[in-house]
């Protein structure tokens, strides 16, 4: 009952609340991006969602418009394409804020397995085998609070499968509360305040 009926209602309620709460932040970021880049403020990319359906995920633009789409270890090759404002947005995860509108559109949930691009076929296959692809993808999830990008595809799939088995209000609240300190203490954020 929670997964099918209560969770979608809570997603809409809290997404609306967070959009209103972060509205000044949205405006400031959009302004900074507008004056520092010639590209669009919002970046859209096709991701794989529930039951293998594709949808456009929204992010604040953090790279130049000519940056290629790379996955896994190859991502390191496009670091030079990340703008100064984009680096700050990525380090603080503020580039993910527009995904609240994905939640309002019904493409995503606040909590769930992170949506990936079609090229990440290995992870998608592992998710399909364990039934994870029947879940709505999330802004944050169990894998994000347990290693994020440092995890292998197998480890991510294992955390995703664990979440699929344990979906509940308690589980979702636990992930939300654990996401905040993970963002704060992650290496990227620490570098912002490190004295040189």
Instruction: Give percent of the chain with pLDDT exceeding 70.
Output: 86
Q: How far is the C-alpha of 118 from the C-alpha of 189, rounded, in Å?
A: 29
pLDDT tens track for 4-44: 999 999 999 999 999 999 999 999 999 999 998 888 999 99
Alpha carbons 84 and 81: distance in angstroms, whole number: 10
Quick one: average pLDDT of 160-187?
88
Q: What is the pLDDT of residue 82?
A: 86
Tokens for 77, please give them. Answer: 């090759």
Residue 79: what pLDDT?
62
Over range 104-123, report the average pLDDT: 96
In this structure, what is the dihedral angle of CA atoms 119, 125, 130, 136, given to the nearest 10 degrees? 30
Higher pLDDT residue, 130 or 81? 130
pLDDT at 61 over 70: yes
Please indicate whether residue 69 or residue 187 has the higher confidence score (pLDDT). Answer: 69
pLDDT category, 186, cuts 50, 70, 90?
A: low
CA distance 95 to 43: 9
> Residue 196: is its pLDDT beyond 70?
no
Q: Point out which residues pair with 48 in neighbouring strands.
A: 54, 116
116, 77 Cβ separation under 8 angstroms: no
| Average pLDDT of the chain to the nearest whole number | 88
Mean predicted confidence (pLDDT) in 75-89: 76
Q: In angstroms, rounded to a whole number, what is the distance separating the alpha carbons of residues 99 and 96?
A: 6
When pLDDT is averaged across residues 85-113 and rounded to a whole number, the result is 95
For the record, the structure tokens of 69 come out as 């789409």
How far is 21 from 15, CA to CA, in rounded Å? Answer: 10
What is the pLDDT, as a whole number, of residue 189? 47
Rounded to two decimals, what is the model's pTM?
A: 0.86
169 phi and psi angles, rounded to 5 deg:
-60, -45
Show the CA angle centred on residue 181, arms to residues 158 and 93, nearest 5°.
Answer: 80
**Which one-letter DSSP state was computed for residue 98?**
T
Q: Residue 136: pLDDT band by 50, 70, 90 thresholds?
A: very high
pLDDT at 135 over 70: yes
Residue 51 to residue 161: CA distance in whole angstroms: 15
């Amino acid at each position: 009952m929670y997964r099918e009926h209560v969770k979608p209602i809570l997603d809409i309620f809290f997404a609306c609340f967070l959009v209103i709460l972060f509205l000044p932040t949205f405006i400031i970021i959009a302004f900074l991006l507008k004056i520092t880049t010639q590209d669009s403020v919002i970046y859209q990319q096709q991701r794989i969602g529930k039951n293998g359906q594709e949808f456009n995920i929204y992010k604040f633009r953090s790279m130049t418009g000519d940056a290629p789409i790379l996955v896994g270890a190859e991502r390191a090759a496009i670091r030079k394409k990340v703008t100064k404002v984009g680096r700050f947005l990525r380090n603080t995860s503020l580039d993910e804020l527009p995904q609240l509108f994905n939640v309002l559109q019904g493409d995503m949930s606040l909590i769930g397995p992170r949506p990936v691009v079609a090229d990440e076929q290995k992870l998608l296959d592992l998710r399909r085998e364990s039934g994870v692809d029947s879940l709505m993808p999330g802004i944050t999830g169990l894998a994000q609070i347990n290693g994020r990008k440092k995890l292998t595809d197998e480890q991510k799939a294992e955390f995703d499968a664990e979440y699929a088995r344990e979906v509940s209000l308690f589980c979702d609240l636990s992930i939300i509360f654990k996401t905040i300190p993970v963002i704060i203490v992650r290496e990227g954020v620490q570098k912002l305040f490190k004295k040189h």
